[in-house]
Structure 1
């Protein structure tokens, strides 16, 4: 039995489930969005966990593999501020989920929630990547104005990145995500000497193209993203201009593949989506790894069988 932790809107899960049905594989889908959990019943008697949803029920002793697409209660943007009673409901569900994950800790996961949480730390990623031998752009984390100005002055071009990727309500009912943006020294004129949050600045690497590098177990799926052909996606391809941003499957240099394997082993991950820049001299620069990163658009544009690889991992 495969337990799929996701939400009702997850297209990735839908496609995997279609393939599992073709193979007559047994699975149980646990949706962690609010609407689904309001119709979910859970029971723990000290021996095992029983879960019942609108689609069926399961004794968790039957679970052999877990696909961790989502870990905790998934909130819609408009559900962020619903009052203390809702927060109690959400927090109790999240503590219950932790109990479920502990019960299943000896099973095979893609990835175990603790390893996901640990590997999401960008500073840990960079430390491990540097030790392995990846090229990393120069960076500074600081909330001290003179240090920020000095870093901006000593690099020809820099970008600012938020370490917490989220959407924020900028107006009533209007939400915005903040991506990687180029920034200049003059942009810090209004930066205060006190009370400012730390910000992450990074040397801008002139790109030839970018890489989305997806790993499933021992399989590597490497996609070349020609982001420089789009003015919209030039600085950060996550702004998505797919019609003007060609995607191709490529074979990575052997040294990069070996370093990726080392990184996955050091972070104890079975799945990861890595981002690289390749510069004009064909040098690869490590940016980050997302242990729960999306991949479906890569599969759609290149034909790489990532979903099939995940299915094989879960069934073998």
Structure 2
């Protein structure tokens, strides 16, 4: 049985589950958004766990592998604000229950294990491992000391401001907006206070030839060239998405980059990752970050890279591995 941890609006899960059903593989979709959890019945008794969601029942002992698209209660943007005490209690108790479920699944195969996925998201760890393996990384400063920040901008101008935690934020107009990578000047830093400010991330801006979304599934590598410099909207951060004016294409990575990515994934002990690189005008590759639950479907749609097929293959291999191990015991 494949356990898919997701939510009902996850297009990636929808796409993979269609393939799972074609292959007639056993699966249970566990949606973690509020509406689905309100229609979920859970029982833990004498070490046994059962989950009943939308009239489908899962006995946790049937799970052989897990696809980790979501970890905890998934909130709509409007649900993230103005939570009353009852809702906070409900959400927190569900999240504690989910950690209990995951603990009971610690001996099955995960793509990726939730604890390791969480650790792998740490930008400090990513930079440490990337440096150890010899990746180029843009000069970086993380600080809330105004003089340090100004000195960095003066030294490396142009510089960009990044966030360690990507999220959406509510504006004064009750709109939800993401904060992406932006160039920053010393004049911008004048708005930064001398106290009570959180640390911010500054990086030297790399003059880009193109950007790369590098997706790894087990031993399979899928590399997409994103020509962000063709767009006046996406040229600093392709996540502003100007798809019609931002060509995407499948490429082969340099052999040394592929080797380093392989070791990087092993160091983080994860089997799925969406890595971001920028490639400068001298064709040097700079590592930016890895997302252990990163999106891939738009890359597949634009380039025909078979990422979802690789994930399906991972499921089938893990299910077959269990069967083969069992047969070897019998023989």
Q: Normalising to structure 2: TM-score of the pair?
A: 0.94
Asked whether the equivalents of residues 116 and 291 of structure 1 are also in contact (C-alpha less than 8 Å), the reply is: yes
Aligned to 1:232: 233
Partner of residue 315, structure 2 = 314
- CA RMSD in angstroms, aligned pairs only: 0.7
User: What is the 5 A alignment of 1:227-306?
Assistant: 227-306=228-307
CA contact (8 A) 1:136 1:287 kept: yes
What corresponds to 1:35 in structure 2?
35
Q: Note the residue ranges of structure 1 that are not aligned, 5 or more in a row.
A: none
Counterpart of 1:25 in 2: which secondary structure? coil
Q: How far, CA to CA, are the matches of 2:303 and 2:42 in structure 1?
A: 41
Offset at 1:171? 2.3
Offset of residue 46 of structure 1: 2.6
1:273-302, Cα deviation, whole Å (9 max, x unpaired): 000000011000000000000000000000
Question: Could you tell which deviates more after superposition, 43-52 or 213-222?
Answer: 43-52
CA contact (8 A) 1:206 1:279 kept: yes
**Structure 1 CA distance for aligned equivalents of residues 174 and 7 of structure 2:** 22
Deviations 1:95-126 (A, max 9, x none): 00000000001100000000010000011100
- The offset of 1:172, in angstroms, is 4.8
Over residues 241-267 of structure 1, what are the superposed CA-to-partner deviations in whole Å (9 max), with x where a residue is unaligned? Answer: 000000000000110000000110000
Deviates more, 1:168-177 or 1:226-235: 168-177
What is the correspondence of 1:93-242 to structure 2 with a 5 Å cutoff? Answer: 93-242=94-243
Paired residue secondary structure (2:57):
strand
Tell me, in whole angstroms, the C-alpha distance in 2 between the residues paired with 1:210 and 1:105. Answer: 36
TM-score by length of 1: 0.99
Taking structure 1 as reference, are residues 132 and 267 closer, same or farther at Cα in structure 2, changes over 3 Å only? same
Residues 78 and 173 in structure 1, CA contact (< 8 A), matched pair in contact too? no
Q: Where in structure 2 are there 5+ consecutive unaligned residues?
A: 318-331
Matched, 1:88 2:89: yes
What CA distance in whole angstroms lies between the structure 2 residues aligned with 1:95 and 1:278? Answer: 42
> After the TM superposition, which of the residue ranges 245-254 and 165-174 deviates more from structure 2?
165-174
**Inter-partner Cα distance in structure 2 for 1:19 and 1:236:** 32
Provide the secondary structure at the position in 1 that maps to 2:225: strand
